[in-house]
Amino acid sequence: MKFNTYIPEKLKPFFVKELDEYNNAFKEGNLVKAWNHLERAHIIGQKYPYEHSLVHWKMLLFGFKIKSFKEVIGQIPRLLVGGIKSFVGHIPVGNPGGSNVPPLKPFPISEDLKTIFSKAQI
Question: 84-103: per-residue pLDDT in tens?
Answer: 888 888 889 999 999 999 99
Kindly tell me if the per-residue pLDDT of 122 is higher than 90.
no
Average pLDDT, the chain: 94
- Pairwise CA distance, residues 94 & 110, whole Å: 8
Residue 14: enclosing H or E segment and its boundaries?
Answer: helix 12-28
Cα 14 to chain centroid distance, Å, stands at 12
pTM: 0.94
